[in-house]
Amino acid sequence: MAMSAGPAEDNSPMSDINTTPLVDVMLVLLIIFLITVPVVIQTVPMEIPKVAFEPTTTKPENVSLSIKGGADGSCEVYWGLTRVSSQELLDRAVVKLKAEIDRQGGVNAPGLELPEAHIRGDVKTPYRCIGGAVYTMQRAGFSRVGFISNPPPGYQTARL
């Protein structure tokens, strides 16, 4: 490496920038990024489901629940238009499921179609209210619990 001291009689400071430390730092950062990027990009290979809005077919045997949060932080669950407590929800769901299974010829009937639970939740409803209703319906024996939502305006439905 050479160093320029300039003329001996000129005592003014040098205005040249020493870029060697900057280049050293940039090379170190480049090496760090080259080493860490493959580690960050590695993922487990899997196929993630593609979700699309699917119109709901309403059947008379399906259960429609509406859930919203009360002003005092409580959960308000409605079976149709009737407000129910957690225990009443469980009791009604068990009775409804048993009646539907009996109507179709029993548990071992060929082509048995179990009813579904459709849940409408208010936007401001706490998750614990909706989660509690899902848990109660699954505990009662409903294997299909779905959510009813409003798609954005102009949304096109498509089967994937």
pLDDT given at position 121:
86
pLDDT given at position 45:
63
pTM of this structure: 0.61
Domains of the chain: 63-148 (3.30.420.270)
Low-confidence spans in the chain with pLDDT less than 70: 1-10, 39-56, 151-160
Q: How far is CA 67 from the centre of its chain?
A: 19
**Total Cβ atoms within 10 A of residue 64:** 15
The kind and range of the H/E element at 21 are: helix 20-41
pLDDT given at position 9:
64
Q: Cβ distance 31 to 84 under 8 Å?
A: no
- 55-84 confidence digits (pLDDT tens): 667 788 889 999 998 888 899 999 988 999
Q: Which residue has the tokens 């082509």?
A: 111
Q: Where are the beta strands (DSSP E) in the chain?
A: 63-69, 75-79, 82-84, 117-121, 145-148
Give counts: helices (H), strands (E), the chain. Answer: 3, 5
pLDDT given at position 79:
92
Which residues does residue 146 pair with via DSSP β-bridges, in sequence order?
118
Q: Cβ distance 57 to 144 under 8 Å?
A: no
